[in-house]
Structure 1
């Protein structure tokens, strides 16, 4: 039993020693190297993130073909909807509280939303939390939480108040 305990302690001591050595030699190069290595990848990652953000921000709305015809979609291809309880050119959304959970607004970071193929007048209103919600022909636009992939149009006609947006800004009923 003493022999097993001695062997066990020796293995433990060896493991501790190797861990200490690994940590010691890893620490010195890691401190020196990351300054160079981390700076370059961080810049690259930052540039990549900016490029992605720029690419995302480049197109806020575009058009796509769907089972309901040609519709407006967001930059990721998700279907965009009107809420008939909103009032055109009122500068506000009537979708509040739980409504916004199910129907999140299409948000932009651009003062002037970027569009491809949308001929309706595109603008923004300010949401209650200070973000810029995209509008088409003076009506705020939204996404539907149950649309899971580009091309889904499961929000069409929900509650007889949610309808897809046509590229010219008309409501598809």
Structure 2
């Protein structure tokens, strides 16, 4: 009986290790594995893939409308150069926006999923060239940070600072590099789907998507 239990335990650990190894590359569909290491410890429970396309509820999210007081250039495994806010949340840009002139086309339901990086006009910069940093006035009168003219956002689907599950969502959202360009180092395929906005917020806005057609 003891030998049977030992065999089962070894097999379970081996299966967990194999599943974790399969998640370490960028290539698998929807893979985004920098936050999956903790699941390997749960050897007695099934491993759940938490790829970039996952719609699992985020473990933690930034506030709905915080001020971004700092922009920091950082380097993240598998993704490379990114820009984060003062708390380490990765920032994104949206292909349906415009840079010349700067214009945000993400509002209402879209902005609940992709909170704009708002500012009082004086963010501290670490590793980001001041010449590419600007602001744009949103339709509600708030000021949003731009990089090379592109408005930047957080993503509520990121479970913790440093995560980048918003990469290639809908084929229109991308991690922003310190120069304002899209970071295309790792593109999950097929393009992931955005998480849903918080239920209370969606009801308050009548489920509108701000005219983005897919946020």
TM-score by length of 1: 0.62
Q: Which residue of 2 aligns with 1:106?
A: 117
Match of 2:97 among 83, 86, 108: 86
**Is residue 149 from structure 1 mapped to residue 164 from structure 2 by the alignment?**
no
Say which of 139, 149, 154 aligns to 1:128. 139
Distance apart, 1:118 and its partner CA: 1.2
Unaligned runs of 5+ in 1: 1-55
Match of 1:169 in 2: 180
Q: Which has the higher contact order (CA 8 A, sep 6+)?
A: 2
Aligned pair count reads: 117
* Structure 2 unmatched runs, 5+: 1-65, 185-215
Residue-by-residue CA offset, 1:66-95 (whole Å, 9 max, x unaligned): 130121011111000010111113232011
Distance in 1 between residues matched to 2:183 and 2:149, nearest whole Å: 16
1:96 maps to what in 2? 107
The runs of 4+ residues in structure 1 deviating greater than 6 Å are: none
TM-score by length of 2: 0.51
Distance verdict in 2 for CA 1:58–1:93, change over 3 Å? closer
Question: What SS does the corresponding residue of 2:170 show, helix, strand or coil?
Answer: helix
SS in structure 1 at match of 2:174: strand
Q: Report the aligned-residue RMSD.
A: 1.9
Going by fraction, where is helix more abundant, 1 or 2?
Answer: 1
